[in-house]
Amino acid sequence: MPTNRKYYRPYIGPCDPCPPIRVKSYETPPQLYLGFQPYGLKQFDPSTALRKGTLWPALYAPYTNPYEPREEEE
């Protein structure tokens, strides 16, 4: 489940030497939206669980690169 990415507009100072970054984003982990983990959630099989770093697909949250292909984001 791709984590939803939140965006915000940082304050841009008038004497900012570098070109300002107008919109910034950050990943929010799925457990914020899960609350108490329900019983009997679907599980990865052991080998993928080891590679993905979690046993439950619902909690799988890789840090996607926001600057990668834009259309990937939701």
Partner 1 sequence: MSKTLSEEFYRLMEQLQEVDFVLVELTLYLDTHPEDYDAIKQFNEFAQKSMVLKQQIETKYGPLQQYGNSYSGYPWNWDQPPWPWQM
Residue of 32, 50, 72, 73 interacting with partner 1 (CB under 8 A):
50
Q: Which amino acid is at 72?
A: E
Give the nearest distance from C-beta 43 to partner 1 in angstroms.
8
Q: What is the DSSP string of 14-48?
A: TT-SSPP---EEEE--THHHH-SPPTT-----HHH
Residue 69 interacts with partner 1 (CB under 8 A): yes or no: no
Of residues 40, 41, 39, the one with CA closest to residue 59: 41
Strand partners, 27: 5
Number of residues that bind partner 1 (CB under 8 A): 11
Residue 31 interacts with partner 1 (CB under 8 A): yes or no: no
Residue of 46, 65, 69, 70 interacting with partner 1 (CB under 8 A):
46
Residues that bind partner 1 (CB under 8 A): 36-37, 39-40, 46-47, 49-50, 54-56
